Amino acid sequence: MFVVTILSLLVTGVVSGYLLRHKNLRFVQWAIKLFIWGLLFLLGIEVGGNPNIIKGLYTIGAEAIIITLFAILGSCVAAWGLWTFIARTNKQKGGSHEG
């Protein structure tokens, strides 16, 4: 039932957006920011009030840092590999790899 509610709200929003597409809806962006800030604040209250999370914060933080570093490293390696592949392909075609 929860999924039906979420999908119904999403579809209603899409239809409303489509019908109101010619109206000035700049307030929507402001409202979204406000709601996201409010949700982040409430999430902080929930996390701060959970003793299990607070006790394990050091472990959770260390794991998050390790995952972040490996994600950055993987992205850099993939970008370097793609750049090398594109440069090699351009060189074979007689083009330049300079952007």
User: In sequence order, which residues have a C-beta less than 8 Å from that of residue 53 and are 6 or more positions away?
Assistant: 47, 60
Residue 32 has pLDDT above 90, yes or no: yes
The per-residue pLDDT for range 66-83, each reduced to its tens digit, is 999 999 999 999 999 999
Give how far Cα 55 sits from Cα of 2, 46, 47, 51, 65, Å. 32, 14, 11, 6, 17
The per-residue pLDDT for range 5-22, each reduced to its tens digit, is 999 999 999 999 999 999
pLDDT of residue 25: 86
